[in-house]
């Protein structure tokens, strides 16, 4: 490929500058997170992304990764520390070394940002075909490789192009021979880093449930202490002797049981259950959407290969025509211009064939990216879509059971329990604490047990409870609106997918009939040409129209198959 001239690069950069604000604005419209709200800056987000991929890093390593001075990183980490997004501590052996790690809050924020960004990219780039997305990804990967040559751009490049780029180098996997769509999906489920992150969120939600359960569980401790003081060796057993003993040992078991904490513990338990269900539904929905990605790339490869086969067959027919024309020219039955026209058609077909091969390679690279291994053999469609679609109402009835809708319902339940937990700040708390003494001296030496019932009634505790309640109520209302949007979006996606599949099936049938008719027309034109009833241009026109109909048929065929699965997934039906 020849390098672009400076003026071409200038035009390219100008067009990119014009497009980027629109892209950023569209991403911002689709995302609602601390980055888009201005809660954290982009450099802080890049640093947090780097920390999220590692247990801990030192300040020097982080500075080198970001390509800035250590003093600048120190300021950045201090801000993250104040927001409780990152923590830092000195090394036990060398106090000069400072270790930085992301907090659970920071990791949750990072996952939220990445999840929303993935959804935004899916929405914005849904207008592109699988082959076009493969081309775009190939270009990004090339830019990424160039950026990674400089350490200063490494983290940013990895964030934009390869969120899992920090994995340790592994031996290249063995090439796959014959690959079915089912097997490709199974491999993609194993290989997907996004699913691995989603699965960890389920474990995190389970941890939140146990944290909530801890509030209402009893606590039992064994406490041992011994006071030594400067006192006479011999003291009496009276009141003064209790205070002037040289040693005062004490051993006891302590039992603590929360009795009432303003329903906070109940809200935490049910909220933890809702969060775990939400994460489970999100994980399973991500599995469904991954199938669409795999199917699109799988069928894009098949479509490109069929397209190439059609063009190869056309090229063979044109080659036969050229040989026939050369013979006819020698005996004066055809003109030289007919041969030139046929040669030009052959060149055009050859160019189209090169493009089809390129699309095949790009689509295959995308499929290999999903399955995590090179594909060397044939692709076998073992779950091909067949049959007409049912009435759209049949699919709409499944919309409430769609996993992302149910996940949003659980998010709403979690937000409602958050209001209950926040309102607990206005309610009294009660706790029972008991002690059983195995060793005790002094005046209380004969007392083996005691217990204390504590009741705390908040009369005035500032405005913290008011603020917490209002924040929780706002989050609940936002969750309710998100649920409404999720339900309406599900119905819209079902209607759109149903229309797309129905239309693709109709076009597939129409192109099949047109292809058969044009094939017969071409055969008739060939016979008429031998009888000198038509000229070479008529035959070439019939051939090109037959070739175009055949290519359109295969394009509609695979588009229908992709749209079939999109309809199934839109209706919440597992592949």
Residues 6+ apart with CB under 8 A from 537: 338, 341
| Integer angstrom CA distances of residue 351 from 77, 357, 495 | 55, 10, 39
The most confident of the ranges 221-230, 269-278, 365-374, 475-484 is 475-484
Rounded-to-integer distance, Cα 356 and Cα 353, Å: 5
Q: Give the confidence band of 384 by pLDDT, cuts at 50, 70, 90.
A: low
Q: Give the confidence band of 342 by pLDDT, cuts at 50, 70, 90.
A: confident
* DSSP-derived 3-state class of residue 439: strand
pLDDT at position 20 over 50: yes
Higher local confidence (pLDDT), 165 or 246: 246
By DSSP bridging, strand 98-102 and strand 86-90 are antiparallel
Rounded-to-integer distance, Cα 372 and Cα 363, Å: 14
* DSSP-derived 3-state class of residue 15: helix
pLDDT at position 507 over 60: yes
Q: Three-state SS string across 170-217, please?
A: CCCCCCECCEEHHHHHHHHHHHCHHHHHHHHHHHHHHHHHHHHHHCCC
Is the torsion defined by CA of 562, 564, 567, 568 positive or negative? negative
Rounded to 10°, the helix 264-330/130-147 angle is 110
Q: Mean pLDDT across the stretch 91-113?
A: 79
Query: In the Cβ-directed half-sphere of 119, how many Cα atoms lie within 13 Å?
Result: 15
Residues 6+ apart with CB under 8 A from 482: 408, 411, 412
Rounded-to-integer distance, Cα 33 and Cα 21, Å: 19
Q: Mean pLDDT across the stretch 557-570?
A: 91
| CB 33 within 8 Å of CB 116 | yes
Q: Lowest mean pLDDT: which of 60-74, 226-240, 452-466? A: 226-240
Instruction: Kindly report the CATH number that applies to the domain delimited by 31-168.
Output: 1.10.10.10
Rounded-to-integer distance, Cα 201 and Cα 280, Å: 8
pLDDT at position 153 over 90: no
Rounded-to-integer distance, Cα 472 and Cα 335, Å: 85
Q: Give the confidence band of 496 by pLDDT, cuts at 50, 70, 90.
A: very high
| Integer angstrom CA distances of residue 207 from 109, 275, 284 | 17, 10, 19
pLDDT at position 5 over 50: no
Residue given tokens 């659980």 in the structure block: 410
State the pLDDT at residue 486.
92
pLDDT at position 210 over 80: no
pLDDT at position 162 over 50: no
Q: Give the confidence band of 75 by pLDDT, cuts at 50, 70, 90.
A: low
Exposed/middle/buried for residue 218 (C-beta within 10 Å: 0-12, 13-18, 19+): exposed
Rounded-to-integer distance, Cα 527 and Cα 533, Å: 9
State the pLDDT at residue 235.
56
Higher local confidence (pLDDT), 202 or 457: 457
Higher local confidence (pLDDT), 159 or 119: 119
Residue given tokens 């009741």 in the structure block: 455
Higher local confidence (pLDDT), 81 or 524: 524
State the pLDDT at residue 567.
92
Q: What percent of the chain has pLDDT over 90?
A: 14
Q: Mean pLDDT across the stretch 184-196?
A: 82
Q: Give the DSSP letter of residue 459.
A: S
State the pLDDT at residue 1.
39
Q: Is the pTM of this model over 0.85?
A: no
State the pLDDT at residue 333.
67
Higher local confidence (pLDDT), 443 or 288: 288
List the beta bridge partners of residue 61: none
Rounded-to-integer distance, Cα 123 and Cα 133, Å: 13
Q: What percent of the chain has pLDDT over 70?
A: 84
Rounded-to-integer distance, Cα 196 and Cα 384, Å: 28
Q: Mean pLDDT across the stretch 99-123?
A: 83
State the pLDDT at residue 158.
42
pLDDT at position 381 over 50: yes
Q: Mean pLDDT across the stretch 256-268?
A: 80
List the beta bridge partners of residue 248: 227
Q: Residue 501 has which token pair? A: 């599949």
State the pLDDT at residue 484.
94
| CB 398 within 8 Å of CB 493 | no
Q: Three-state SS string across 289-347, please?
A: HHHHHHHHHHHHHHHHHHHHHHHHHHHHHHHHHHHHHHHHHHCCCCCHHHHHHHHHHHH
The most confident of the ranges 175-179, 358-362, 487-491 is 487-491
Q: Give the DSSP letter of residue 481.
A: H
Nearest CA to 29 out of 151, 119, 135 is that of: 119
User: Strands of 57-58's sheet, edge to edge?
Assistant: 57-58, 98-102, 86-90
State the pLDDT at residue 483.
93
Tens of pLDDT, residue by residue over 414-446, are 899 888 888 888 888 888 999 999 888 877 778
| CB 65 within 8 Å of CB 52 | no
Rounded to 10°, the helix 59-66/154-161 angle is 70
Q: Give the confidence band of 82 by pLDDT, cuts at 50, 70, 90.
A: confident
Q: What angle do CA 1, 371, 159 make, to 5 degrees?
A: 65
pLDDT at position 118 over 90: no
Tens of pLDDT, residue by residue over 26-47, are 777 778 788 777 778 777 888 8
pLDDT at position 203 over 90: no
Nearest CA to 112 out of 155, 154, 49 is that of: 49
Rounded-to-integer distance, Cα 227 and Cα 249, Å: 6
Give 171-216+264-427+460-575's CATH code, choosing from 1.20.1070.10, 1.20.120.80, 1.10.10.10, 1.20.1600.10: 1.20.1600.10
State the pLDDT at residue 489.
92
Nearest CA to 59 out of 99, 95, 28 is that of: 99
State the pLDDT at residue 87.
86
State the pLDDT at residue 492.
94
């Amino acid at each position: 490929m020849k390098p672009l001239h400076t003026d071409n690069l200038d035009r390219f950069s100008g067009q990119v500058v014009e497009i980027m604000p629109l892209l950023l604005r569209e991403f911002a419209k689709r995302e609602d997170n601390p980055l888009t709200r201005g809660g954290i800056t982009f450099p802080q987000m890049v640093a947090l992304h780097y920390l999220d991929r590692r247990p801990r890093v030192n300040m020097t390593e982080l500075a080198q990764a970001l390509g800035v001075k250590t003093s600048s990183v120190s300021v950045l980490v201090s801000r993250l520390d104040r927001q409780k997004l990152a923590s830092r501590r000195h090394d036990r052996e060398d106090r000069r070394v400072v270790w930085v790690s992301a907090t659970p809050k920071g990791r949750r924020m990072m996952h939220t940002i990445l999840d929303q960004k993935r959804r935004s990219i899916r929405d914005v780039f849904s207008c592109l075909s699988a082959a076009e997305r493969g081309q775009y990804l190939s270009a990004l990967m090339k830019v990424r490789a160039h950026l990674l040559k400089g350490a200063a751009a490494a983290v940013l490049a990895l964030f934009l192009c390869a969120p899992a780029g920090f994995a340790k180098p592994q031996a290249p996997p063995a090439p796959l021979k014959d690959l079915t769509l089912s097997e490709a999906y199974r491999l993609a489920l194993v290989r997907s880093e996004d699913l691995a992150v989603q699965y960890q969120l389920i474990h995190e939600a389970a941890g939140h449930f146990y944290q909530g359960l801890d509030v209402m569980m009893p606590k039992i401790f064994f406490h041992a202490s011994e006071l030594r003081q400067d006192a006479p060796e011999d003291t009496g057993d009276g009141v003064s002797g209790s205070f002037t003993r040289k040693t005062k040992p004490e051993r006891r078991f302590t039992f603590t049981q929360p009795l009432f904490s303003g329903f906070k513990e109940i809200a935490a338990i049910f909220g933890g259950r809702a969060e775990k269900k939400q994460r489970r539904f999100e994980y399973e929905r991500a599995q469904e959407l991954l199938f669409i990605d795999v199917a699109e790339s799988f069928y894009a490869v098949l479509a490109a290969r069929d397209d190439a086969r059609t063009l190869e067959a056309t090229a063979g027919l044109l080659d036969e025509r050229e040989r026939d024309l050369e013979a006819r020219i020698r005996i004066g039955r055809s003109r030289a211009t007919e041969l030139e026209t046929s040669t030009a058609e052959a060149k055009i077909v050859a160019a189209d064939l090169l493009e089809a091969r390129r699309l095949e390679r790009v689509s295959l690279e995308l499929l290999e990216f999903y399955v995590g291994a090179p594909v060397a053999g044939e692709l076998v469609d073992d779950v091909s879509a067949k049959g007409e679609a049912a009435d759209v109402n049949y699919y709409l009835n499944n919309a409430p059971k769609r996993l992302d809708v149910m996940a949003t319902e659980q998010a709403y339940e979690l937000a409602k329990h958050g209001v209950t937990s926040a309102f607990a700040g206005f309610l009294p708390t009660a706790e029972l604490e008991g002690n059983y003494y195995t060793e005790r001296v002094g005046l209380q030496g004969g007392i083996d047990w005691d217990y204390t019932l504590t009741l705390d009634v908040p009369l005035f505790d500032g405005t913290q409870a008011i603020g917490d309640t209002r924040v929780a109520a706002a989050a609940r209302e936002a969750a309710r609106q998100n649920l409404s949007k999720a339900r309406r979006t599900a119905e819209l996606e079902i209607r759109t997918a149903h229309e797309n599949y129905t239309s693709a099936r109709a076009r597939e049938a129409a192109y099949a009939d047109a292809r058969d008719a044009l094939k017969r027309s071409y055969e008739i034109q060939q016979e008429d040409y031998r009888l000198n009833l038509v000229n070479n241009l008529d035959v070439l026109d019939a051939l090109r129209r037959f070739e175009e109909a055949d290519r359109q048929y295969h394009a509609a065929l695979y588009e229908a198959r992709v749209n079939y699965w999109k309809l199934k997934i839109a209706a919440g039906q597992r592949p």
